[in-house]
């Protein structure tokens, strides 16, 4: 490409228009990729915590958006704790296994909130998939001990 100082004004304007078009195309691509990345993050969060939170993708070529009304934002956390942390707390120090319903009730009493119509299903998924929780008897759960045998 020739030096900019060697170009005429119409050629400079044409080059500027091309650069603007490239910029717009890249901004749109960036927005699509950001939305796709957020979707992947949501899927990972759903697999690791058993709760699927819907998060809005960031807007293209704008400053990061903030919720307009914090009261409308729903969360699946209680005082900044995840369901996993709450379940660990509920099960910690228990010598006898707890039932799914007792664990679910304790988590809800601890302030856990979910959009699920059946919170017990969410807790069940966590209990059966978490490597630190063991099934003592069918439907009753304990934390795995930390000591090595």
In whole angstroms, what is the distance from residue 121 CA to residue 101 CA?
A: 10
Q: What is the pLDDT of residues 82-115, one digit of tens each?
A: 889 888 888 887 889 999 999 999 888 888 888 8
Strand partners, 81: 78
Q: What is the pLDDT of residues 40-82, one digit of tens each?
A: 888 887 777 755 555 565 555 555 555 444 433 334 455 678 8
Structure tokens at 37: 């990345």
φ, ψ at 133 (rounded to 5°): -115, 135
Which strand ranges, in their side-by-side order, compose the sheet holding 140-143?
Answer: 98-99, 140-143, 133-137
- 8 Å CB contact between 112 and 83: yes
CA 100 and chain centroid, separation: 24
Give the pLDDT band of residue 147 (cuts 50, 70, 90). Answer: low
Output DSSP code: residue 81: B
């Amino acid at each position: 490409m020739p030096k900019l100082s060697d170009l005429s004004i119409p050629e400079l304007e044409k080059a500027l228009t091309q650069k603007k078009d490239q910029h717009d195309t890249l901004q749109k691509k960036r927005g699509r990729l950001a939305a796709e990345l957020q979707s992947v993050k949501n899927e990972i969060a759903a697999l690791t915590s058993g709760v699927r939170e819907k998060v809005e993708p960031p807007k293209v070529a704008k400053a990061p958006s903030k919720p307009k009304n914090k009261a409308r934002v729903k969360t699946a956390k209680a005082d900044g704790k995840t369901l996993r942390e709450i379940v660990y707390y509920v099960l910690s120090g228990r010598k006898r296994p707890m039932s799914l319903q007792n664990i679910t009730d304790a988590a809800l009493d601890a302030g856990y909130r979910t959009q699920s119509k059946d919170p017990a299903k969410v807790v069940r998924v966590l209990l059966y998939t978490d490597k630190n929780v063991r099934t003592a008897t069918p439907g009753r759960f304990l934390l795995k001990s930390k000591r090595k045998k």
